[in-house]
Amino acid sequence: MQGYNFAYLDEQTKRMIRRAILKAVAIPGHQVPFAGREMPLPYGWGTGGIQVTAAILGAEDVLKVIDQGADDTTNAVSIRSFFARTAGVRTTTSTAEASVIQTRHRIPERQLRGDQIIVYQVPIPEPLFRLEPSRAAARRMHAMSDYGPMQVKLYEDITRFGRVAVAYDHPVLVNCRYLMSPSPIPAFDNPKLHRMAALQLFGAGREKRIYAVPPYTDVVSLDFEDRPFEPVRAPARCALCGADDTYLDEMVTDDRGGRLFACSDTDHCAAILAGTA
């Protein structure tokens, strides 16, 4: 595409972002600041994820972009065609075929491989955000492994609601050291982070932070010994493919209360139907 560098960002910016990524990979779960650039999307629309993807994309890569599991929503389509135009890379909706997967708020159902990279779009990178409004104090807490308050919050959830109430963005401890926000993925997806074969990169554009989980890293959801973390899904089968072990979207079908559940991961659902999952 004329007038723009490969994947939109200039090479110096990509180097800066890659340096941040390297630091992030070296310290799993630790938030690394980076000098975020102005992107042709506003904050809150995935600028962090886009910058990470732009920095790592090569001409031979195959890119998949999903938004809450679907390849065909507006945002997923926009971002996918953005990279198609500015980088000229092949794009796909198939998880199996992709080498880089940029995602908003879900992890694909299909297990990822060691030759794949998943890039998460993150709104708020700081897991202590609500407990400790001061950023300086929060940084000290991470430095000193002072995570008691987060455990207290879980205690409160159990006390008030009988279970941990966070349905998404359940905090995790990475590599037995850093408390991390896995981005607003449903709690159902948390187990997938643990010892994933693929490299996981997280980009927050508005907050200008990058963090990472290298392959085969321990990622444990916070819980209590006697109240273990339990992933939650709707107790139903996918109305399209019949799967009972995938994360489901609930869809309202009419104005008389009709609803159906369908797999949130559209590619996976299609694969099951085609018999190729």
Q: Which residues bind other proteins (CB under 8 A)?
A: 143-144, 146-149, 151-152, 155-156, 158-160, 223-227
Instruction: Note if 241 is an active site residue.
Output: yes
Q: How far is the CB of 151 from other proteins (least distance, A)?
A: 4
Q: Which amino acid is at 218?
A: D
Q: Is 29 among the residues known to form the active site?
A: yes
**CA distance linking residue 3 with residue 267, whole number of Å:** 34
Q: CA 269 to CA 263: how far, in whole Å? A: 6
Q: Indicate the residue among 136 and 143 with the shorter CB distance to other proteins.
A: 143
Catalytic residue (one of 203, 238, 242, 275): 238
Q: What is the C-alpha separation between 5 and 136, in angstroms, rounded? A: 37
Catalytic residue flag (residue 176): no
> Which residues lie closer than 8 Å to 34 by C-beta, 6 or more apart?
16, 17, 20, 51, 208, 209, 210
> In the annotation, is 263 catalytic?
yes
Of the residues 49, 242, 269, 275, which is catalytic? 269
User: What's the min distance (Å) between Cβ of 232 and other proteins?
Assistant: 18
Q: How far apart are CA 178 and CA 31, in angstroms?
A: 9
Dig out the tokens for 118 from the structure: 């998943």
Q: How far is the CB of 154 from other proteins (least distance, A)?
A: 9
- Annotated active-site residue in 29, 49, 203, 205: 29
CB of 166 to other proteins, least distance (A): 16
Catalytic residues: 29, 238, 241, 263, 269
